[in-house]
Amino acid sequence: MTLTALRRVSQLFFFVILVYGALFMTTFYSSDKLTQAYPALTCAYDKSGGDYCVLIPMQHQMDHRVAGLFNGSVEAMQALMPTVITIVTFLVLVVLLNKAFCGWTCPLGFFQEVLTIIGTKLGIRQIKSLDIETVRKIRPIKWLIFVFLIFLFPILTGLGFLGHELGSAFCSICPSRIMTTLAVGDTSQLYVSSLSWGYMTLSLIADFLFGLMIALALFVRQPFCRICPMLPMQSVFKNLSLFRLVKNGSSKCDTCGNCVKACPMDIYEIQESAENRNITFADCTLCGKCVEFCPDDDVLALKYTKFPLFSSSQEYFKKRNKLDRDFTKYKWFGSSK
């Protein structure tokens, strides 16, 4: 089994758990902790549950807690303690798994990969890699979303400068909310709001972003992942993690560029010279594809602390490259080329 095959088994498992998990995880004793509605990983149904991403409580706390610290309506301990608990909990997960959530468990990431596979099999012309200038222009977007939609807008909402709809602006436009609910046959999150101009604007952005993500994913790898604010959130603590991507190029690496071509996030910096250094860049999802397609022994490796979990090798590269060619050779419609 290849590393990619193993990763997709992991993605499929977590997709079932996180989207349909409430079907079999909710019991009498857990009913007050896990949402009884479907899907399990969403704020669309149960805003008091604990089974959703860290971005939800962060926005809520900026709006209802931290903003109160600025206007004096909330005491410092009451304002900051929930945020500290959220950050510390998230920090523990990042230390243990780093960005593996994105590459190995995220339902939305898996959904985009499936769409790209479908696009390939339908014969849609694929953009194998975005050019470096395009990548550089896209990268700041996720940081702008992270700063404005996760922190600044909710705080300004709590202070009364912005409308209530911007207190959780990112959740209102997040494609995962629409995708996970549609996956269980619920179309209620795909709508145009008439509550106010603000809510209408956010709902239109959400619908457009979801549709655009689907269209782009058919021929561009991981389009939404490139602007997802979860990556900046993880990047703040990535150097503390036990799980990392390490490069030990020395004289072995001839900068062939295979790692960049394989990378679904088009991280050109992977091919730069490095000797036994953590290269888990801000956009990295630890999918390990760069390691799979590196033709040199032990140049790239996924490591947990000092222990290599998977390392590049010439033998594996030859087998993996052949499997990849065989996969793209045949299409669902038309003859192979």
> Which domain-ending residue is among 197, 232, 267?
232
Contact (Cβ atoms closer than 8 angstroms) between residue 109 and residue 222: yes
pLDDT tens for each residue of 234-283: 888 878 899 999 998 776 788 888 999 999 999 999 998 888 889 999 99
Q: Quick one: 119 and 59 in the same domain? A: yes
Q: Quick one: 97 and 172 in the same domain? A: yes
> Which domain-ending residue is among 232, 265, 297?
232
Q: What average pLDDT does range 136-165 have in this prediction?
A: 95
Q: Does 24 reside within a domain?
A: no
Q: What is the CA radius of gyration of the chain?
A: 21
Strands of 307-311's sheet in order across: 277-278, 243-247, 300-304, 307-311
Q: Quick one: 170 and 145 in the same domain? A: yes
pLDDT of 317: 92
| Helix runs in 183-285, H state only | 197-217, 230-235, 258-262
Q: What average pLDDT does range 121-126 have in this prediction?
A: 88
pTM of the model: 0.89
Q: What average pLDDT does range 195-222 have in this prediction?
A: 96
Q: Cα(306)–Cα(285) distance, rounded to whole angstroms? A: 19
* CA-to-CA dists, residue 14 to 101, 110, 138, angstroms: 10, 10, 28
pLDDT tens for each residue of 69-109: 888 888 888 888 988 998 898 889 888 989 888 999 999 99
Q: Quick one: 260 and 223 in the same domain? A: no
Q: Does 26 reside within a domain?
A: no
Q: Does 14 reside within a domain?
A: no
Q: Quick one: 247 and 210 in the same domain? A: no
Q: Quick one: 249 and 225 in the same domain? A: no
pLDDT tens for each residue of 24-44: 766 555 555 555 566 666 666
Q: Does 30 reside within a domain?
A: no
pLDDT of residue 336 exceeding 60, the answer is no
Relative orientation angle of helices 197-217 and 107-121, to the nearest 10 degrees: 50
Q: Which residue range(s) make up the domain with 164?
A: 51-232
> Which domain-ending residue is among 232, 252, 286?
232
Q: Does 7 reside within a domain?
A: no
Structure token digits, residue 71: 């206007």
Q: Quick one: 276 and 208 in the same domain? A: no
Q: Quick one: 70 and 210 in the same domain? A: yes
Q: Between vectors from CA 153 to CA 93 and to CA 60, what angle results, nearest 5°?
A: 45
pLDDT tens for each residue of 293-329: 999 999 999 999 989 999 999 999 988 888 877 666 6
Q: Quick one: 160 and 208 in the same domain? A: yes
Q: Quick one: 167 and 301 in the same domain? A: no
pLDDT tens for each residue of 46-78: 555 545 688 888 998 999 999 988 888 888 888
Q: Quick one: 260 and 224 in the same domain? A: no
Q: Quick one: 206 and 283 in the same domain? A: no
Average predicted confidence (pLDDT) for the chain: 87
pLDDT of 330: 60
Domain total in the chain:
2
Characterize 51-89 residue by residue with b for buried, 16 or more Cβ atoms within 10 angstroms of its Cβ, and e for exposed.
bbbbbbbbbbbbbbbbbbbeeeebeeeebeebbeebbee
